[in-house]
Structure 1
Amino acid sequence: MTTRSAPRLLVAFVAFTLLCLALPDSAHAYGGPGSVISGIGALLAAIAALLASLFGFIWFPLKRLLQSTTDDEPEHAASAASPSDADPSAE
């Protein structure tokens, strides 16, 4: 064996090993009704959590943006008109 074929042999061996690990045989396992329904429920819960998080990341910034654009009067103008801020020495 020459020194040039040794790296090729090593690469071929590693590739063959990874291929064998990536393609396992079938497990011949039985999934009972309880485990299958639990798996479906877990999948639906994961999808619902993903949709809820996307909804939160999209809806709440849009809601804040809409509130800031439709706000007619500034917040400090409403508090300045309240009678509790009147000067007590004017009485």
Structure 2
Amino acid sequence: MNFFIGINFVLGLACIFLGYQIKFKHRIKLINGYKTKNLINKNLYTNWVGASELVIGFLILVTAFITISIRSVAFISITDITLIGILILLIMDGEKKYSK
């Protein structure tokens, strides 16, 4: 149980760190497959991806805190899979929205 909670804390902090670096420091090299020639607006795209990472990272941390109180591995597993799926969909939506 503690292993899963620890993994969630590390994953949440990693998402928050990457989201911060992308959104506020504009470290676009952290985005996999990023090509400036395919985008309409580079700043809006990096803000979209960074904000998505930040929100999902905070939600993963919240999931870890909730799991500490309810002690359910099933809850943490289902919630993590759902949050990662949502992150993928958000990034795909941003790719469509800001691509040429």
One fold, TM greater than 0.5? no
The structure with more radius of gyration: 1
TM range, normalised to the smaller chain? 0.3 to 0.5
Which of 1 and 2 has higher RCO (CA within 8 Å, sep 6+)? 2
TM-score in terms of structure 2 length: 0.30
